[in-house]
Amino acid sequence: MTTAAMDRISYEAGGVLLPDKGLVANEIARLAPRLEAARHEVLADLELFRSRSPIPREKEPLDAAFIDLPERLLGDYRQRRQESELNRILATARRLAETIDRVVLLGIGGSYMGARALFEACCHPYHNELSRADRGARPRVYFEGNNVDNDAIAGLHDLLGCGEITRDGREPFAIVVVSKSGGTLETAAALRIFLTALRQACGADGNRLAQLVVPVTGASGRLRELAAALGCTDIFTIPEGVGGRFSIFTAVGLLPAAILGLDIVRLLEGAADMNARFRQAAPGDSPVLDYVAVCHLMERTRGATIRVMSTWGKGLEAAAWWYDQLLSESLGKEGHGATPLSVVNTRDLHSRGQQHQEGRRDKLITNVSVASPRRGLLRIGRSPHDQDGLNQLVDKTIADIMEAAREGTNRAYRGDERPTAELRLPRIDESSLGQFFQMLMLATVVEGRLVGLNPYGQPGVEAYKRHMNAILRSE
């Protein structure tokens, strides 16, 4: 089952198709053979990984397994249902939702950013403040282990009440901890603190503790060993060949999404639909290849070394943060790589808007907007006090204002020949987001192969970890 064409993400290069100053169609057309070659290499990488043949040194690491993961998970679910990975995820999510009211998700980088993006996009904007009934009997979710901020960790510790049983008899909280190795210090330190609080609440009942800690980790490593020592009831394995920033469609992202009641099958179906388009559509009709073409040409021929992901609405802000990591760690290597910048409009039009409109011409702005809001439309309405002059807009909705701001901003950019691209989601739901995340992951690895960079691995991130651990252990 795939998403209908009318529900697909739409993509267009808007302001970059300006004569003289922007890109023109024949520039993109000339790049088409190289785009096709890069796509072929990305798909060949997947076949190489699946073949279990030796990986050439220049291809290491080769974390291409994310590409066909949606189809593999869906196929397994349809064929084996009860024994499938998806069913295990759904069963654990149901168990946690029924027995606890708070989940602490511990992870950093790709180990939490996808889950947070799904949470902020799909859940009520004030999910954690709602009553349990208004949350659909789903737990509150808190994100930690993504920084070493003493006051933030202490504040969450205070909120959880150091492991007290809730008034309705539910368990105090559960921990979902995500770390492929278990050796990432930020997450490991937070786990030690919250695990201590949870152990105190459980007393001598080790079985109870084992049910309240759910690790998502590699096949081996420190966290796997700790999970075994605790006797954790449910342990999920991050598949081989899937790097952290590409892991949103593993238990890393799917388990938190399922805990929150999101339809993870539809999420994967959206990603699978984007895969089909990626494999079949030619340049000019492919969101993945066309977006790569515009980004690459704007950077190489127009000096647009800053890529602004401009989300129109707050719900996709965390998704833009997710993309920040994806782009930075994949292409920021060997002295190369555009710099990502995330903005939320109309909020940031009042902070960064001036610079984007009249500052240096080093930016490509990608507008990410949604055709239909998730909630009922709010109208300005008539007021007996019209000092604000808004009675002229009595029938306008907040969505109308947002759309006018988007179009007005784009007109202003076009007027000054500021390049933009457009990603339009039909709505914020699981299917659209599945397409969105898969599109950006595919586009990133295609661009890496296009310019001769390995988009997998993040050797630069390891340097600070080595120095940090050396400093701590030498004092």
List the catalytic residues: 329, 350, 465
Strand order in the sheet with 420-427: 10-12, 420-427, 363-372, 306-312, 339-345
Which residues fall within 8 angstroms of residue 210, CB to CB, at 6 or more apart?
A: 230, 231, 232, 233
Angle at CA of residue 195, ends 215 and 112, nearest 5°: 45
The span from the CA of 97 to the CA of 92, in Å, is: 9
- CB contact at 8 A, 266 and 122: no
Give the rounded distance of the alpha carbon of 458 from its chain centre.
Answer: 17
Three-state SS string over the chain comes to CCCCHHHCCEEECCCCCCCCCCCCHHHHHHHHHHHHHHHHHHHHHHHHHHHCCCCCHHHCCCCHHHCCHHHHHHHHHHHHHHHCHHHHHHHHHHHHHHHECEEEEECCHHHCHHHHHHHHHHCCCCHHHCCCCCCCCCCEEEEECCCCCHHHHHHHHHHCCCCCCCCCCCECCEEEEEECCCCCHHHHHHHHHHHHHHHHHHCCCHHHHHHHEEEEECCCCHHHHHHHHHCCCCCEECCCCCCHHHCCCCHHHHHHHHHCCCCHHHHHHHHHHHHHHHHHCCCCCCHHHHHHHHHHHHHHHHCCCEEEEEEECHHHHHHHHHHHHHHHHHHCCCCCCCEEEEEEECHHHHCCHHHHHHCCCCEEEEEEEEEECCCCCCECCCCCCCCCCHHHHCCCEHHHHHHHHHHHHHHHHHHCCCCEEEEEEEECCHHHHHHHHHHHHHHHHHHHHHHCCCCCCCHHHHHHHHHHHHHHHHC
311 CB neighbour count, 10 Å cutoff = 25
Total count of residues recorded for the chain: 475
> What is the distance between the alpha carbons of residues 354 and 413, in angstroms, rounded to a whole number?
11
